[in-house]
């Protein structure tokens, strides 16, 4: 079951567990007629497509996925919106969403930071509101990679000194540059919620870093829900 894919420079997504399959969606929908399928066939696939196309999404909430994610804090906080705002679609809420995150109040492992390479820095977009434009010149990128590494080194040094001087970890962490700091969490959600996240965060308007994570979540989900996941991505708004 343990399937993991790397993302960015030091991150990853690991599929920890899942409940159900494409048949789970089919049988949840057909229970109304006291019918059950034991092997997926073309009629079942057509039913899944029909359900997604016409927003009959409750059967997709009987299938679950659990991921372990290791990502920069700026990605985690965008991702968190899908826990706070998980009452999408039919408006009854998805109470099966779960999120548990590591905390530096208790965990004192060495901090790890996301550092873009010299060719990964992006320009400000023309509208200057959100998102990013084309990559900046390599020389400029090299300068900002160097500056970021220096900032991390200084912050990490102050963090370690504070800990050595007896400052509590929940305050010592104030010295760590926050947005690039890698954090780890478990995310458990229904197939519908996962598809909702993927569809929004694989969109070209989303930040590149979270798009990279959404693509990996999509690839991992397809292994266990190839028909249902594609149907949700292609049909549900």
The residue ranges of every structural domain in the chain are 3-105+183-235, 115-179
How many CA atoms are closer than 13 Å to the CA of 214, on its beta-carbon side? 24
**pLDDT of 31:** 87
Please check whether residue 123 is in contact with residue 135, taking contact to mean a CB–CB distance below 8 angstroms. Answer: yes
Per-residue pLDDT at 86: 52
Give the per-residue pLDDT at 142.
95
Q: Annotated catalytic, 184?
A: no
CB of 211 closer than 8 Å to CB of 201 = yes
- Give me the pLDDT at residue 89, please: 45
Q: Which fold has domain 3-105+183-235?
A: Gyrase A; domain 2 (3.30.1360)
Q: How many C-beta atoms lie closer than 10 Å to residue 134's C-beta?
A: 7
User: Based on the number of CB atoms within 10 Å of its own CB, is 205 exposed (0-12), middle (13-18) or buried (19 or more)?
Assistant: exposed
> Which of 75, 71, 104, 101 is CA-nearest to residue 173?
104
Distance (Å, whole) CA 72 – CA 115: 10
Collapse the DSSP code of 181 into the 3-class scheme (helix H, G, I; strand E, B; otherwise coil) and give the result. strand
Q: What pLDDT, on a 0 to 100 scale, did the predictor assign at position 130?
A: 72
- Res 92: pLDDT: 44
Of the candidates 14, 173, 184, 201, the residue annotated as catalytic is: 201
> Which three-class secondary structure state does DSSP give residue 6?
strand
Distance, CA of 51 to CA of 82 (rounded, Å): 22
- pLDDT number for residue 127: 72
Say what the pLDDT of residue 105 is: 67
Report, as ranges of residue numbers, the positions in the chain whose pLDDT lies below 50. 85, 88-93
């Amino acid at each position: 079951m343990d399937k993991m894919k790397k993302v960015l420079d030091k991150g990853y997504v690991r599929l920890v567990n899942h409940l159900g399959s494409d048949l789970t969606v089919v049988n949840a929908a057909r229970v109304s007629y006291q019918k059950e399928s034991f092997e997926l066939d073309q009629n079942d696939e057509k039913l899944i497509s029909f359900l997604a196309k016409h927003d009959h999404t409750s059967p997709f909430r009987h299938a679950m996925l659990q991921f372990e994610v290791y990502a920069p804090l700026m990605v985690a906080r965008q991702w968190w919106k899908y826990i706070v705002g998980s009452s999408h679609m039919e408006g009854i809420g998805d109470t099966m969403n779960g999120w548990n995150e590591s905390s530096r109040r208790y965990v004192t492992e060495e901090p790890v930071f996301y550092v873009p390479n010299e060719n990964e820095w992006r320009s400000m977009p023309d509208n200057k509101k959100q998102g990013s434009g084309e990559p900046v010149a390599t020389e400029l990128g090299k300068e900002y990679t160097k500056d970021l590494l220096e900032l991390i080194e200084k912050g990490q040094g102050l963090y370690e000194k504070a800990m050595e001087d007896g400052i509590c970890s929940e305050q010592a962490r104030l010295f760590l540059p926050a947005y690039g700091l890698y954090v780890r969490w478990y995310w458990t959600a229904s197939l519908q919620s996962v598809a909702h996240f993927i569809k929004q965060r694989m969109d070209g308007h989303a930040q590149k870093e979270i798009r990279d994570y959404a693509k990996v979540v999509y690839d991992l989900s397809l292994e266990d829900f190839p028909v249902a996941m594609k149907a949700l991505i292609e049909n549900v708004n």
